[in-house]
Amino acid sequence: MKGKRGDNREMNKRIYLDNAATTRVSEEVLQEMLPYFRECYANPSAIYGFAGEAKKAVGIARERAADLIGVKPNEIYFTAGGSESDNWAVRAVAEGLSDKGRHIITSKIEHHAVLHTCQYLEKQGYEVTYLDVDEEGKISPEALEKAVRPDTVLISLMAANNEIGTIEPIARIGEIAHERGVLFHTDAVQAYGHVPLNMEKMHIDLLSASGHKLNGPKGVGILYCRENVRLRPLIHGGAQERGRRAGTLNVPGIVGFGKAAALAGETMQERSDREAALRDYLIDRVLAEIPYTRLNGSRQERLSNNAHFCFRFIEGESLLILLDQRGICGSSGSACTSGALDPSHVLLAIGLPHEIAHGSLRLTLSAETTKEEIDVTVEALKEIVGRLRDMSPLYEDAMRRGQIEK
């Protein structure tokens, strides 16, 4: 019991602002999943009556996942997460249509699940165009139009960026794709359940989403694939998912995904309004109270929970460590865990010089985030950024050259 109370105390003082990396499973989702571990644990592909409950639950989850984006349940395939869905969509379309052409269009700011799959395909002889983005991280529909060629078989562009939060003009992108007869895949891992998406209106043929980005469990995702699009399997084996995705279904995970999707749909408007108000409060305070700071991404077309800053003259990594000491979880948005000192590909793509990109911090809110937590975070940031700058040779140098005033 003692250990448990200790855990709770820890939880109470932790301020979790890394919801773009993963979210907490909501209580309602957890409760709905639990019976499928020890009570209804049958393999849903089995014939006996005992499998009926599990099979039914998967059906309901499929309907819920489909409803959120206005499609038919038989257009939803359950996968092991966003990365698998991205790999699958890009490879299946490219390899399935290789007779027609071997050119793919994507952007420089995609998630690595898309970028690295494209790089893999380049090694197999495909050609890939990586579209530039503007300083807000927006993909230009005009640039896309120019990039389409007779041998283009796939356009894969994300619905919203996971680092800087910019929401992309995917309805217009889908229109272009369809005018030119090219299939359109979107990585909607950050958008699904957070912003309204309509496959018909947006002309989306394939879409990836992931459970753990919307208060569902990790290790489960979906690939939506329009009914008349042929989808070759990525995972070979049994006949699950209409012969397209082998492997015994992750029933608790799928049930959790379905519940998370249903809740996300019900609460979307209210939740995003509340998050956006807190997000704007955070952004306004940071920009007003900490000098030499910039906001990255679009101010208007922005995920309701995303704030992404660059603080000049400091290292994002040091900032994260000092925030962590105060129980505040954020992200630098760069893949520096490997020890590589390359700043994020997204920040370089929006034109930031290396030295500014290094001082980045992403804070992503949830429905549970409070104004008090934002206040504590802003106060901590002011102090930490000030302290790091006082120790920074870059800062001292800029001051000596009269580029800044103390």
Ligand X SMILES: *Cc1c(COP(=O)(O)O)cnc(C)c1O
Residue 293 CA, chain-centre distance (Å), reads 24
Q: Which of 118, 225, 310, 336 is catalytic?
A: 336
DSSP string, 217-254: -TT-EEEEE-TTS----SS-SS-HHHHTS-S---HHHH
Identified binder of ligand X from the candidate list 187, 205, 241, 315, rule CB under 6 A:
187
Residue 4: C-alpha distances to residues 7, 10, 30, 207 (Å): 5, 10, 19, 40
Number of residues engaging ligand X in binding (CB under 6 A) = 15
- For tokens 């947006």, what's the residue? 202
Q: In this complex, which beta carbon is closest to ligand X, that of residue 19 or of residue 392?
A: 19
Beta carbons of 317 and 342 less than 8 angstroms apart:
no
Residue 148 or 330 with smaller CB distance to ligand X: 330
The residue among 210 and 369 lying less far from ligand X, judged by its C-beta, is 210
Task: Give the nearest distance from C-beta 179 to ligand X in angstroms.
Answer: 26
**Least distance CB 393 / ligand X (angstroms):** 35
CA 273 to CA 305: how far, in whole Å? 10
Query: Distances in Å between the alpha carbon of 400 and those of 249, 312, 355?
Result: 63, 16, 18
Q: What dihedral do alpha carbons 284, 289, 295, 300 form, nearest 10°?
A: 10
User: Which residue in the set 93, 104, 189, 282 belongs to the binding site for ligand X (CB under 6 A)?
Assistant: 189
Give me 270's structure tokens. Answer: 């209210």
Active site residue 336: yes
Supply 141's token pair: 């529909």
- The rounded distance, in Å, linking the Cα atoms of 359 and 311 is 5
Least Å distance, CB 21 to ligand X, is: 7
By CB under 6 A, tell whether 330 contacts ligand X: no
Q: Which of residues 82, 169, 216, 217 is near ligand X by CB under 6 A? A: 82
Please report whether residue 190 would count as binding ligand X according to CB under 6 A.
Answer: yes
- Shortest distance in whole angstroms from residue 109 CB to ligand X: 10
For 157, the 3-state DSSP assignment is coil
Residue whose entry in the numeric block shows the structure tokens 């030295």? 355
Question: In 3D, which of 239, 260, 249, 222 has the Cα closest to residue 53?
Answer: 249
For ligand X, which residue of 137, 169, 216, 221 counts as binding (CB under 6 A)? 221
Is 296 a binding residue for ligand X by CB under 6 A? The answer is no
With CB under 6 A as the contact rule, the residue among 81, 174, 193, 359 that binds ligand X is 81
Among 106, 152, 156, 162, binds ligand X (CB under 6 A): 162
The distance of closest approach from Cβ of residue 165 to ligand X in the complex, given in angstroms and rounded to an integer, is 11
- Residue 88 vs 309, nearer CB to ligand X: 88
Q: Which is nearer to ligand X, 83 or 296 (CB)?
A: 83
Chain Cα centroid distance, residue 316: 20
Considering only residues 19, 210, 240, 298, which one is a binding residue for ligand X as defined by CB under 6 A?
A: 210
Task: Decide if residue 217 touches ligand X (CB under 6 A).
Answer: no
Q: What are phi and psi of 138, to 5 degrees?
A: -90, 135
Under rule CB under 6 A, residue 216 binds ligand X: no
The token duo for 17 is 């602002």
Q: Does 302 bind ligand X (CB under 6 A)?
A: no
**Shortest Å distance, C-beta 27 to ligand X:** 21
Contact residues for ligand X, defined by CB under 6 A: 81-83, 86, 111, 113, 158, 162, 187, 189-190, 210, 212-213, 221
Where in the sequence numbering do the catalytic residues fall? 336
